[in-house]
Amino acid sequence: MDLVVIGASSLGKSVVQIARSYALYPPIGVVDDGVSTGSLVEGIPCLGRIDELAGLRRSLPEFGVVIAIGAPRTRVEVLARLHTILPKPVLLTIIHPTAVFLGNVHVGEGTIVFPGCVVGPGVEIGRASILNANVSIGAGSHIGEYVNLCPGANIGSEAWLGDGTYVGMGAAVAQQVRLDDWSVLGALSFAREDVPAATTVVGSPARSTGDEA
């Protein structure tokens, strides 16, 4: 099945290259509301705005999409928009061949796994999440939907990350710690205690900034 990448930022460009390595879903184009139609993104054309996927479906019935947008809330909005544009959008899962899955791992539809990731046995990853380069997830952890784990994030065994969680570059979550929905752990921070929903924490040990995520 052919792949259309939603988003032409640096993340989208990386996903195009990962898809080429993955080989199962050849990328045929990107869509982005802020990029001119016909512009080349990593050698493939921008097909226009996201809304133009409806026209593409008429000319190319069999294609799937992946949402290459880092902000979790924006990914939710784009997916809702997709359901108004396409009757049954097909979310493709993209996994770089150098990613390592140790045992039985569940990966939800539309999730992107970058090079160098190591995922332990029994891990569950929800749909439309992003595991950036060199992310490590310990055995038995739960990763919700629309999660973004930035490069080098380290998630301890049996941790629980709720929907829309954002873990910054090089940050770590201790074993059995829970980050509730839409919480944010800043770059290079260490969460050794549970983090409430929609809370931003930074530092080592991580403490709330007082700002709602």
For 78, the token pair is 């784009």
Q: Which residue's entry shows tokens 């205690």?
A: 193
Residue 103 is assigned to a ligand binding site = no
Q: Which residues are annotated as a binding site?
A: 70
Q: Which residues are annotated as a binding site for substrate?
A: 70
